[in-house]
């Protein structure tokens, strides 16, 4: 029979097309063998042929008699052809419509340019193919299961699509040298990029804890399920590696059970589906998440080199054989593990390193996370202001924790009337620790975790202590990498080592082949050191406060920080590169953990008596230290204020006080200051430091001056100062990245209390919008007499508002506008303000794009002013004509003492006008013309007038 069919084909192929045998029937004849080899499912064909009454049940029975699939196909083809053209056309139509089952024939359908007639298109086609039905089921279930990201605390679910942000993914060599970036997930399967071993079948994705390995796999699964991962995978099986540790040593299963029981089960004919997978292994894609999580006593070397997919064996053996390609060779596997997990080179096809969020990824993630713009801006400012938080946020998990903390604390803040609710860094790290511990605590997978923070910490007390111990040991020696011996000597259990707080380090040299470890982040080591200091029951005061001594001893400028000599370690300071930041952080966390607020948690880790003793020692130390620091500060008297200039180290002290959340300490610090103007200029204060600053400063009883010029506090910092605005009479915030948002806060607050006299906002990011708020403040607050708002982005519009406000004010004394762009129109508005002003004394409109036109109006207005003593018009475009107007003004004005016209366009002619004008003026002390186009020679002409300064 078989020979006959082939012969027929040959005969037909020799027939010229022109003799026009019916086209569809002929196509089946011509391509008979192709169809025989590619049609895997006959049932679906038969089902549809019967349904449309093209086949009788007898026809179906005849076809079913044949033992092999190929023979069945041949018989069906014979029957179809015998029934004529329409049935042949419908037969091809089934192949086209049931795409999933006959996907291998799609290129053929394209090639023959098959277009069914309308008649055939009206006939129904039902997909009864078990393989494609299974594929649909897999897709449906995977789409459903990957829709949400389960957060680690598992108290909420987030939509993957709304949460996932791109991160840095890099293809690397065996030795981790970069082979290029991954721009889309298809790149992972594209052999043209990053292939390091053609024989390997596993794509190995690695990265630190929380870097996003699991979520990347989830994204991959989700894309596939939605038909958006174009890598030719027909089946997607996903596994979590930790599951393989759950099997007993004598358990065995075959590959089919592993696939179908731990993913979804085929509703029809599992055998056929499995055979299909065996036959086309390259259509199967596997993901195995967390190879590092496999924990088994199972001896892998005892695994027999099985190759039969039907033979039952231990599931772990199946996994190993799958990964190495001994089972289901040709299938694609993606395996993830934490950095440092050993994977045999032979099995790796590509190595992929996850590096977390770049700055722009972080921005994208921030936008996704915070829908509320105000919240987003606040978080972004906070990040910008706190490098420690920012660096933590490159690890998506930390980022999520911090954002979550921020969201949580902000929602609490909003629900309270009191604006002084604060988040400390200790809060953030405690929450981070809680999240980590919760993740590793064995909980029922189906049960949501509702464990409280106290319960979590209590149940992992020993672990926390071990981690604290190793952190402390390292911190004492400034050691941040621990070798195996050190770890062993501290009785660190394997389990504790792999919790995620520590990570394995490679290529650090010196430790030979053995693993060495480091904390995920140095700040985390500082945190655990502090936790050790707090939880070690028998720790003495000297030990407790040791790192304060470390901080103070080499800091020559701040060596006064530590008054207690027995704490001082004289040997320190030999290493000039020694970084103190981690000691500072340790102290900071020590203050936080010993705060009263944290006692309800900490008393589950150490006795209340020990906490009390330690807290007393710490508070005593902080007080002593503060007193000592305050004694040695520079003091001055300035405009009725008793001023102290603090050093950057003082900011650390304020941060520590803030972490303690001790009102008592804050009050005592204020008392010890014996000053009412605190100068914190150039202290490297960030916005988050403003929380600490206001925590202390709000305890001032009387009006206060606060000079924060030249720091980095931005709008967020301004907001953090809320608790002390009712005390602030002098506020200097120049050079601090403040925008209109910050100015709005200043307006809202300062206009409430109306005590502000001095507002310094020089060199920020203020536009006309902010200028309008300042103008309103000038109008509403008669106390405000000094406004320094130069070097911002204020144009004519803002300038006019400010000028109008000044015009209305009866108290304004000093307005500094250097370096804005108010132009002539703005200058004219200021000129109006000057006329008959009762108090304005100092005015700067320097560097404001003022031409002769604006200059002339100012000169004219000064004729009618009897208050202005100093006028800066430096760096404008004042020429001789305007100079002539100023000369006229000099004949009338009897108050102006200093006129600055440096760097304008005044020539000798203009200078001459001015010198003539001066002849009738005895009050003016100087007219500065430096930087104008006047030569030495020309200057001689008015050398007799000493008040004209040209050089």
Interface residues toward ligand ATP, by CB under 6 A: 149, 151-152, 163-165, 167, 207, 209-215, 290, 338, 365, 396-397, 400, 500
- Measured from the CB atom, the residue of 167 and 381 that comes closer to ligand ATP is 167
Locus of tokens 């721009």: 183
CA distance 282 to 878: 80
- Measured from the CB atom, the residue of 213 and 351 that comes closer to ligand ATP is 213
CA distances from 813 to 725, 816, 857 (A): 22, 10, 21
Neighbours of 321 (CB within 10 A): 22
The least CB distance from residue 365 to ligand ATP, in Å, is 6
The least CB distance from residue 208 to ligand ATP, in Å, is 7
Find out whether 277 and 350 touch, Cβ atoms under 8 Å.
no
- Measured from the CB atom, the residue of 286 and 621 that comes closer to ligand ATP is 286
- Measured from the CB atom, the residue of 292 and 550 that comes closer to ligand ATP is 292
The least CB distance from residue 268 to ligand ATP, in Å, is 35
Of 511, 680, 711, 531, the C-alpha closest to 606 is: 531
- Measured from the CB atom, the residue of 59 and 289 that comes closer to ligand ATP is 289
- Measured from the CB atom, the residue of 55 and 400 that comes closer to ligand ATP is 400
The least CB distance from residue 424 to ligand ATP, in Å, is 23
The least CB distance from residue 510 to ligand ATP, in Å, is 27
CA distance 9 to 4: 9
The least CB distance from residue 488 to ligand ATP, in Å, is 24
Strands of the 178-181 sheet, one edge to the other: 178-181, 168-172, 348-356, 202-207, 332-338, 284-289, 235-240
Find out whether 949 and 930 touch, Cβ atoms under 8 Å.
yes
CA distance 156 to 841: 61
The least CB distance from residue 804 to ligand ATP, in Å, is 50
- Measured from the CB atom, the residue of 214 and 841 that comes closer to ligand ATP is 214
CA distance 407 to 419: 16
Neighbours of 325 (CB within 10 A): 19
* DSSP label of 328: S
The least CB distance from residue 228 to ligand ATP, in Å, is 17
CA distances from 319 to 242, 252, 831 (A): 12, 12, 84
Of 623, 436, 614, 643, the C-alpha closest to 540 is: 614
Strand, coil or helix: what is 677? Answer: strand
**DSSP per residue over 500-532, as a string?**
SSEEEE-S-SSSTTS-EEEESSHHHHHHHHHHH
The least CB distance from residue 432 to ligand ATP, in Å, is 12
- For residue 618 the two structure tokens come to 């710490």
Locus of tokens 């200039």: 645
Angle (CA) 469 402 418, round 5°: 110
- Measured from the CB atom, the residue of 523 and 844 that comes closer to ligand ATP is 523
The least CB distance from residue 218 to ligand ATP, in Å, is 7
Locus of tokens 């806060």: 745
- For residue 202 the two structure tokens come to 């596993």
- Measured from the CB atom, the residue of 520 and 806 that comes closer to ligand ATP is 520
Residues 6+ apart with CB under 8 A from 82: none
* DSSP label of 577: T
Find out whether 229 and 288 touch, Cβ atoms under 8 Å.
no
- Measured from the CB atom, the residue of 362 and 522 that comes closer to ligand ATP is 362
Backbone dihedral angles phi then psi of residue 818, each to the nearest 5 degrees: -45, 130
The least CB distance from residue 757 to ligand ATP, in Å, is 48
- Measured from the CB atom, the residue of 134 and 406 that comes closer to ligand ATP is 406
CA distance 881 to 88: 100
CA distance 808 to 833: 8
Find out whether 497 and 295 touch, Cβ atoms under 8 Å.
no
Phi-psi region of 647 (alpha: psi -120 to 50; beta: other; left: phi over 0): beta
Strand, coil or helix: what is 836? Answer: coil
The least CB distance from residue 359 to ligand ATP, in Å, is 14
Find out whether 848 and 830 touch, Cβ atoms under 8 Å.
no
CA distance 302 to 312: 15
- Measured from the CB atom, the residue of 120 and 217 that comes closer to ligand ATP is 217
CA distance 828 to 823: 9
- Measured from the CB atom, the residue of 29 and 498 that comes closer to ligand ATP is 498
The least CB distance from residue 705 to ligand ATP, in Å, is 45
- Measured from the CB atom, the residue of 185 and 397 that comes closer to ligand ATP is 397
- Measured from the CB atom, the residue of 125 and 405 that comes closer to ligand ATP is 405
Find out whether 333 and 323 touch, Cβ atoms under 8 Å.
yes
The least CB distance from residue 401 to ligand ATP, in Å, is 8
- Measured from the CB atom, the residue of 212 and 917 that comes closer to ligand ATP is 212
- Measured from the CB atom, the residue of 35 and 165 that comes closer to ligand ATP is 165
The least CB distance from residue 336 to ligand ATP, in Å, is 7
Neighbours of 545 (CB within 10 A): 23
The least CB distance from residue 361 to ligand ATP, in Å, is 8
The least CB distance from residue 147 to ligand ATP, in Å, is 14
Backbone dihedral angles phi then psi of residue 264, each to the nearest 5 degrees: -90, 160
Please identify the residue of the shown chain whose CB is closest to the bound ligand ATP. 212
Neighbours of 143 (CB within 10 A): 16
Phi-psi region of 927 (alpha: psi -120 to 50; beta: other; left: phi over 0): beta
CA distance 791 to 492: 57
């Amino acid at each position: 029979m078989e020979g006959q069919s082939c012969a027929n084909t040959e005969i037909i192929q020799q027939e010229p097309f022109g003799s026009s045998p019916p086209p569809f029937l002929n196509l089946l004849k011509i391509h008979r063998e192709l169809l025989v080899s590619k049609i895997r499912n006959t049932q679906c064909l038969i089902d549809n042929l019967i349904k449309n009454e093209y086949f009788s049940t007898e026809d179906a029975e005849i076809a079913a008699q044949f033992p092999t699939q190929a023979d069945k196909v041949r018989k069906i083809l014979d029957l179809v052809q015998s029934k004529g053209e329409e049935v042949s056309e419908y037969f091809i139509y089934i192949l086209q419509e049931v795409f999933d089952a006959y996907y291998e024939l799609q290129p053929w359908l394209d090639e023959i340019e098959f277009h069914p007639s309308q008649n055939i298109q009206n006939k129904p086609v039902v997909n009864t193919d078990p393989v494609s039905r299974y594929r649909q089921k897999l897709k449906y279930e995977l789409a459903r299961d990957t829709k949400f990201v389960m957060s680690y605390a598992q108290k909420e679910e987030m939509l993957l699509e709304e949460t996932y942000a791109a991160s840095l993914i890099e293809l690397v060599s065996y030795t981790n040298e970069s082979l290029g970036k991954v721009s889309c997930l298809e790149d992972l399967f594209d052999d043209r990029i990053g292939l390091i071993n053609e024989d390997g079948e596993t794509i190995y994705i690695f990265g630190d804890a929380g870097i996003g390995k699991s979520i990347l796999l989830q994204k991959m699964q989700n894309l596939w399920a939605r038909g958006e991962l174009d890598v030719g995978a027909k089946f997607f099986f996903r596994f979590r590696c930790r599951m393989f540790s759950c099997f007993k040593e004598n358990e065995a299963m075959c590959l089919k059970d592993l696939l179908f029981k731990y993913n979804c089960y085929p509703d029809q004919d599992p055998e056929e589906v499995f055979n299909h997978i065996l036959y086309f292994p390259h259509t199967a894609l596997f993901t195995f998440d967390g190879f590092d999580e496999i924990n088994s006593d199972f001896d892998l070397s005892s695994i027999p080199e099985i190759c039969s997919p039907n033979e039952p064996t231990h599931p772990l053996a199946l996994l190993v054989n799958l990964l190495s390609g001994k089972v289901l060779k040709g299938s694609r596997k993606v395996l993830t593990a934490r950095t440092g997990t050993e994977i045999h080179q032979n099995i790796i096809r590509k190595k992929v390193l996850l590096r977390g969020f770049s700055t722009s990824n972080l921005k994208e993630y921030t936008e996704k996370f915070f829908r509320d713009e105000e919240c987003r801006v606040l978080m972004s400012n906070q990040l910008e202001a706190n490098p420690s938080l920012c660096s933590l946020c490159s690890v998506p998990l930390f980022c999520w924790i911090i954002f979550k903390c921020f969201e949580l604390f902000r929602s609490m803040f909003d629900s309270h009337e009191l604006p002084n609710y604060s988040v400390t860094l200790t809060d953030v790290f405690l929450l981070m620790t809680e999240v980590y511990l919760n993740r590793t605590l064995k909980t029922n997978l189906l049960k949501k975790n509702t464990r409280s923070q106290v319960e979590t910490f209590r149940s992992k007390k020993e672990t926390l202590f071990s981690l604290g111990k190793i952190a402390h040991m390292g911190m004492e020696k400034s050691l941040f990498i621990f070798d195996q011996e050190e770890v062993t000597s501290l009785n660190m259990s394997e389990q504790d080592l792999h919790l995620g707080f520590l990570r394995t380090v490679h290529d650090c040299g010196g430790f030979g082949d053995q693993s060495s470890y480091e904390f995920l982040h140095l700040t985390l080591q500082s945190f655990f050191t502090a936790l050790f200091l707090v939880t070690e029951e028998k720790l003495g005061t000297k030990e407790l406060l040791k790192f304060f001594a470390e901080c103070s001893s080499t800091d020559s400028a701040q060596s006064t920080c530590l008054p207690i000599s027995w704490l001082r370690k004289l040997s320190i300071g030999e290493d000039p590169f020694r970084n103190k930041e981690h000691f500072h952080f340790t102290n900071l966390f020590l203050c936080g953990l010993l705060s009263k607020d944290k006692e309800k948690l900490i008393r589950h880790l150490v006795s209340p008596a020990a906490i009390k003793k330690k807290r007393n020692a710490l508070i005593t130390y902080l007080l002593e230290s503060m007193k000592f620091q305050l004694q040695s500060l520079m003091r001055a008297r300035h405009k009725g204020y008793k001023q102290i200039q603090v050093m950057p180290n003082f900011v650390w002290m304020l941060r520590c006080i803030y972490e303690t959340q001790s009102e008592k300490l804050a009050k005592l610090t204020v008392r010890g200051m014996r000053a009412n103007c605190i100068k914190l200029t150039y202290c490297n204060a960030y916005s988050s430091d403003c929380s600490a600053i206001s925590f202390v400063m709000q305890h001032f009883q009387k009006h206060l001056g606060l000079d924060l010029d030249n720091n980095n506090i931005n709008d967020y910092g301004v907001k953090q100062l809320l608790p002390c605005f009712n005390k602030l009479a002098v506020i200097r915030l120049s050079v601090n990245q403040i925008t209109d948002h910050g100015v709005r806060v200043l307006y809202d607050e300062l206009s409430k209390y109306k005590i502000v006299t001095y507002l310094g906002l020089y060199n920020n990011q203020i536009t006309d919008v902010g200028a309008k708020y300042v103008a309103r403040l000038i109008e509403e607050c008669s106390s405000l007499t000094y406004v320094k708002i130069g070097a911002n982005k204020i144009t004519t519009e803002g300038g006019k508002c400010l000028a109008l406000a000044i015009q209305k004010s009866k108290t304004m004394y000093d307005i500094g506008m250097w370096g804005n762009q108010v132009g002539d129109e703005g200058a004219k508005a200021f000129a109006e303000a000057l006329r008959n002003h009762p108090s304005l004394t100092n005015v700067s409109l320097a560097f404001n794009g003022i031409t002769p036109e604006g200059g002339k109006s100012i000169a004219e207005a000064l004729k009618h002013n009897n208050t202005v003593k100093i006028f800066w018009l430096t760096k404008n475009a004042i020429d001789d004509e305007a100079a002539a107007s100023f000369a006229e003004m000099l004949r009338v004005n009897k108050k102006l003492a200093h006129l600055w016209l440096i760097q304008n366009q005044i020539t000798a002619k203009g200078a001459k006008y001015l010198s003539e004008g001066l002849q009738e003026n005895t009050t003016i002390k100087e007219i500065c013309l430096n930087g104008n186009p006047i030569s030495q020679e020309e200057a001689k002409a008015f050398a007799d007038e000493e008040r004209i300064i040209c050089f």
